[in-house]
């Protein structure tokens, strides 16, 4: 990226990513403990987790252009942790209304993705969200997304009469390949089209 490298930038990004990974671990531990799941299962999930740190930029909309930066969607990840300096992220609530999330350097939004929904057997729904562009300034945000590097499946402890088994085991990277296929795009729920029962 830089001809003479930029060690300070690389160290800063690496340090930031490590802190987000720690937050990811804390949130996952909270989820596991809330369902009374074994520590060994938690450790196994962490060992098989891969991370992607992404920077996002949304420009000012052009005159006459919609301010929709990213259409409503759910992430394919297990968890997504986002930080934004400029407002624009909206989260869909159960009643169908949109909650616009505030912006702050110290505010981190943790959202469950499709993989968490499968893992929890629909007990934790994937968080539908969108991005609106600001009319005055470019919008920047950072996101850490966590993915399972091995087969993901609903936890047997989370399958019961109220929540019968709803998903087959799935390969996270296979889901990526499926995600943009015609079959996936035409479906009401891509994850359910991929591995739903």
Condensed to tens digits (0 to 9), the pLDDT of residues 20-32 reads 999 999 999 999 9
Residue 45 domain-assigned? Answer: yes
CB contact at 8 A, 8 and 122: no
Condensed to tens digits (0 to 9), the pLDDT of residues 81-91 reads 999 888 889 99
pLDDT of 3 reads 60
pLDDT of 6 reads 82
Residue 64 domain-assigned? Answer: yes
pLDDT of 64 reads 84
pLDDT of 1 reads 57
pLDDT of 104 reads 85
Residue 175 domain-assigned? Answer: yes
* CATH number of the domain that residue 118 is part of: 2.60.120.330
Residue 28 domain-assigned? Answer: yes
pLDDT of 192 reads 96
Please tell me the total count of domains within the chain. 1
Residue 156 domain-assigned? Answer: yes
User: Per-block average pLDDT, block size 10, for the chain (197 residues)?
Assistant: 76 94 97 94 94 91 84 94 90 95 90 97 97 84 92 95 97 92 94 96
Residue 169 domain-assigned? Answer: yes
Residue 1 domain-assigned? Answer: no
pLDDT of 74 reads 94
Domain that holds residue 186: 7-195
């Amino acid at each position: 990226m830089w001809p003479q490298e930029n060690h300070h930038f690389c160290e800063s990004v690496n340090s930031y990513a490590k802190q987000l990974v720690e937050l990811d671990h804390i949130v996952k531990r909270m989820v596991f403990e809330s369902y009374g799941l074994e520590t060994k299962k938690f450790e196994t999930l962490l060992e098989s987790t891969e991370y992607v740190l992404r920077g996002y930029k949304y420009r000012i909309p052009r005159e006459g252009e919609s301010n929709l930066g990213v259409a409503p969607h759910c992430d394919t990840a297990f968890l997504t942790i986002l930080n934004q300096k400029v407002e624009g992220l909206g989260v869909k609530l159960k009643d169908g209304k949109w909650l616009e999330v505030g912006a702050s350097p110290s505010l981190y939004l943790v959202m469950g993705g499709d993989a968490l929904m499968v893992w929890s057997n629909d007990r934790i729904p994937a968080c539908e969200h969108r991005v609106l562009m600001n009319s005055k300034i470019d919008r920047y945000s950072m996101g850490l997304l966590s993915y399972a590097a091995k087969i993901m499946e609903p936890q047997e402890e989370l399958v019961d009469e109220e929540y019968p088994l709803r998903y087959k085991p799935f390969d996270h990277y296979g889901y990526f390949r499926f995600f943009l296929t015609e079959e996936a795009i035409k479906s009401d729920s891509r994850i359910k089209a991929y591995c739903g029962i």
